[in-house]
């Protein structure tokens, strides 16, 4: 243990893009151009729903009117406002188990009862969903593509079934989709929004994972009446979003920088995903199972049932590798007790190998000893 005391820490905790993903020069130029061109508008207060040219551009991509687009300071803010508008205290909200931990915190804050529906390597278990739909729910929160935290993607057949169920049972679906374009292999799948023609599905998208999280620009497409309610709550909460980042992103898109940015992110993250899969095979091949994401920022590691991930996490951190215990991603910490979420998005590939080796050592150090003979 004493040899580990001085090691530089490696963190698999947070879904940050690797530093080389960030288009620093392009964003600097776009920000300057945006302020020079739109300064009188974007440096003032303005519409709570976002910078009009960006709304129009996003609306054109979806083929809807701009009044259906709501642009926020990051998609978590949109989720928070949506929860504020849609959830009465005590209402059920269906979520994936596991799901994004910050979404669970938001739901808890508005007094929702989050009901987990299992996720496997084909994504959301639609039969379990159907059973849960026998009682009313405010909405279903799902991350169908490269899910945070599992890395799993809901298959096309399950997406079709989910779209049918949403229509038949009239359940509103919030499709949180920040990772769709961070695909390393396999084919792009239609979103639930696309499969339903947008009927009953609110689709949330973000520039955080494909351009830069610090720019804090995300958008959702929703029915116009819902967007009006969100705008009213936004105006009460923060008057208006930050327009300089929105105008900067607008300029970034207008200059055609997005494709290069997507390629840069994929090229930066694919070898990291590969490095983590290889290291897991090498270090934990006979002791654990894990997801094999085709894209996104995270994977999910299932350890043997006798490993307590909440006990392991601080020991791993002391040994120089930080991870998040799986229970954090279930309502009330009710499952995932022998699992971990690992983010491969930030750490350099050689450090990924080292981090997984440290994790394996921490797991081995805590494993129950075989009975002495």
Ligand X SMILES: Cc1ncc(COP(=O)(O)O)c(C=O)c1O
Q: List contacts with ligand X (CB under 6 A).
A: 15, 74-76, 100, 143, 148, 176, 178, 206, 208, 213, 218
For residues 101 and 308, which CB has a smaller minimum distance to ligand X in the complex? 101
The helix (H) or strand (E) run that includes residue 205 is strand 201-206
To ligand X, the closest distance from the beta carbon of 283 in angstroms equals: 26
To ligand X, the closest distance from the beta carbon of 217 in angstroms equals: 8
To ligand X, the closest distance from the beta carbon of 206 in angstroms equals: 3
To ligand X, the closest distance from the beta carbon of 74 in angstroms equals: 3
To ligand X, the closest distance from the beta carbon of 298 in angstroms equals: 8
Look at the block and give the residue holding tokens 């991870």: 323
Q: What is the DSSP letter of 17?
A: P
For residues 71 and 284, which CB has a smaller minimum distance to ligand X in the complex? 71
Query: Taking Cα atoms as reference points, which of 259, 211, 248 lies closest to residue 43?
Result: 248
Cα separation of 217 and 206, whole Å? Answer: 6
For residues 76 and 361, which CB has a smaller minimum distance to ligand X in the complex? 76
**Residue closest to ligand X when measured from CB atoms:** 74
> Which residues fall within 8 angstroms of residue 368, CB to CB, at 6 or more apart?
306
- Structural contact between residues 74 and 217, judged by C-beta atoms closer than 8 angstroms: yes
Query: Taking Cα atoms as reference points, which of 188, 339, 212 lies closest to residue 265?
Result: 212
For residues 218 and 327, which CB has a smaller minimum distance to ligand X in the complex? 218
Cα separation of 14 and 89, whole Å? Answer: 30
For residues 176 and 251, which CB has a smaller minimum distance to ligand X in the complex? 176
Q: What is the DSSP letter of 295?
A: B
- Structural contact between residues 112 and 88, judged by C-beta atoms closer than 8 angstroms: no
To ligand X, the closest distance from the beta carbon of 17 in angstroms equals: 10
* Cross-strand bridge partners of residue 141: 95, 174
């Amino acid at each position: 243990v004493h040899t580990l005391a001085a090691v530089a820490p490696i963190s698999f905790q947070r879904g940050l893009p690797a530093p080389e993903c960030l288009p620093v020069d392009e964003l600097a130029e776009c920000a300057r151009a945006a302020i020079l061109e739109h300064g009188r508008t974007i440096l003032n207060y303005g519409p709570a729903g976002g910078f009009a040219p960006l709304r129009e551009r996003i609306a054109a991509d979806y083929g809807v009117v701009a009044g259906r687009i709501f642009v926020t300071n990051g998609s978590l803010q949109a989720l928070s406002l949506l929860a504020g508008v849609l959830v009465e205290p005590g209402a059920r909200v269906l979520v994936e188990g596991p799901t994004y931990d910050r979404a669970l915190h938001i739901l808890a804050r508005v007094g929702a009862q989050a009901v987990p529906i299992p996720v496997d390597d084909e994504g959301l278990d639609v039969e379990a969903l159907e059973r849960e739909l026998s009682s009313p729910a405010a909405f279903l929160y799902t991350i169908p593509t490269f899910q945070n935290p599992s890395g799993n993607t809901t298959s096309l057949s399950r997406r079709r079934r989910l779209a049918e169920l949403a229509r038949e049972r009239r359940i509103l679906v919030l499709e949180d989709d920040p990772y769709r374009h961070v695909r390393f292999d396999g084919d792009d799948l239609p979103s639930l929004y696309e499969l339903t023609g947008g009927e009953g599905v609110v689709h949330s998208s973000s520039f955080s994972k494909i351009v830069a999280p610090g720019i804090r620009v995300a958008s959702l497409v929703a029915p116009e009446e819902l967007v009006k309610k969100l705008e009213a709550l936004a105006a009460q909460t923060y008057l208006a979003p930050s327009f300089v980042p929105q105008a900067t992103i607008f300029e970034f898109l207008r200059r055609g920088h997005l494709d290069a940015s997507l390629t840069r992110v994929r090229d930066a993250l694919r070898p990291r995903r590969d490095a983590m899969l290889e290291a897991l095979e090498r270090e934990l091949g006979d002791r654990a199972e894990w997801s094999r994401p085709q894209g996104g920022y995270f994977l999910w590691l299932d350890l043997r049932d006798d490993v307590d991930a909440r006990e392991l996490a601080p020991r791993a951190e002391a040994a120089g590798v930080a991870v998040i215990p799986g229970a954090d991603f279930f309502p009330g910490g009710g499952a995932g007790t022998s699992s971990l979420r690992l983010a491969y998005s930030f750490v350099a590939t050689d450090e990924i190998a080292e981090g997984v080796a440290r994790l394996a050592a921490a797991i081995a150090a805590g494993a129950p000893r075989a009975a002495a003979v």
